[in-house]
């Protein structure tokens, strides 16, 4: 079934630990995105990739890094987690940057 | 700065009609999206407007006025399953989506 998968579904993490959130899509979309969603706030863009091999910074990139080695995968890494990174993280993809974005099921991350 | 405003919460009755408004101020405009998000789930695409006017898709319609920086989502014949948050997002000059905080719609029997 075509779509976007994310892993893990949820995670509790100690502050200071390193964590990678995984995102894979099988729609051959060129563009991929990472958002965080916090209560009372709109989705905020962390990083994006317009095409494989390129990445860019969004609105809230500090403390996060991404890579885009191929079309399908777009992992998000927290180098040293802090409690303010507690959030729900959504990965999304679109055929190109001008097209509709489709979302993965999300990862609920708690940093203690 | 860039800003998207929509009401925090609305309540409506099953079978009725509800209109959810969205106003925006962004650097550039390349279209406006509406998404539906049920609690604990991912946002799902509902509609896209780039030209002024009304786009109808079944029970859902979306309207855009670019000169007023205004859009609304109209939901007809409300069903209990329409209880969800509705997110307004504008594609800016860099084709990045700027999101509103969402409107939580509560449907009462």
Q: Which residue has the tokens 């989506």?
A: B97
Which residues in chain B have their CB less than 8 angstroms from residue A40's CB? 101
CB B65 within 8 A of CB B80: no
What share of chain B in percent tops pLDDT 90? 97
Tell me: the pLDDT tens digits for B17-41? 999 999 999 989 999 999 999 999 9
With an 8 Å Cβ cutoff, is B75 touching chain A?
no
Mean pLDDT, contiguous 10-residue spans, chain A (112 residues): 90 97 97 96 95 96 98 98 98 96 98 97
**Rounded Cα–Cα distance for residues A94 and A103 (Å):** 9
Q: Is the confidence at residue B76, as pLDDT, over 60?
A: yes
Within 10 angstroms of residue B45's Cβ, the number of other Cβ atoms is 13
Q: Is the confidence at residue B1, as pLDDT, over 80?
A: no
Smallest CA–CA distance, residue A22 to chain B, in Å, is: 16
Q: Looking at the partner chain, which of B30, B42, B91 has a beta carbon nearest the beta carbon of A90?
A: B42
Q: Looking at the partner chain, which of A41, A44, A106 has a beta carbon nearest the beta carbon of B42?
A: A106
Smallest CA–CA distance, residue B87 to chain A, in Å, is: 8
Q: What are phi and psi of A62, to 5 degrees?
A: -65, 130
**Banded pLDDT at B67 (limits 50, 70, 90):** very high
Closest CA to A25 of A46, A44, A52, A43: A52
Q: Is the confidence at residue B103, as pLDDT, over 70?
A: yes
**Rounded Cα–Cα distance for residues B36 and B21 (Å):** 14
**Banded pLDDT at B2 (limits 50, 70, 90):** confident
Tell me if B42 and A45 make a contact (CB, 8 A cut-off): no
Tell me: the pLDDT tens digits for B77-90? 999 999 999 999 99
Smallest CA–CA distance, residue A50 to chain B, in Å, is: 10
**Rounded Cα–Cα distance for residues A62 and B88 (Å):** 25
């Amino acid at each position: 079934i075509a779509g976007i998968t994310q892993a893990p579904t949820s995670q509790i993490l100690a502050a200071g630990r390193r964590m990678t959130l995984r995102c894979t899509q099988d729609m051959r979309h060129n563009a991929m995105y990472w958002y965080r969603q916090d209560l009372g706030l709109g989705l905020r863009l962390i990083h994006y990739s317009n095409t494989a091999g390129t990445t860019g910074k969004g609105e809230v990139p500090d403390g996060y890094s991404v890579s885009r080695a191929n079309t399908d995968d777009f992992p998000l890494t927290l180098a040293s987690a802090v409690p303010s990174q507690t959030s729900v993280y959504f990965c999304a993809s679109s055929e190109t940057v001008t097209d509709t974005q489709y979302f993965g099921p999300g990862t609920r991350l708690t940093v203690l | 700065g860039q800003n998207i405003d929509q009401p925090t919460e609305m309540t409506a009755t099953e079978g009725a009609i509800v209109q959810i408004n969205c106003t925006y101020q962004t650097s550039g405009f390349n279209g406006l999206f509406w998404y539906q998000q049920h609690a604990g789930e991912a946002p799902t695409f509902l509609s896209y407007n780039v030209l002024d006017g009304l786009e109808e898709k079944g029970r859902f319609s979306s309207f855009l006025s670019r000169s007023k920086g205004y859009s609304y989502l109209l939901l007809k014949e409300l069903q209990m399953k329409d209880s969800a948050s509705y997110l307004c997002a504008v594609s800016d000059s860099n084709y990045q989506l700027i999101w509103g905080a969402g409107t939580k719609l509560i449907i009462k029997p």
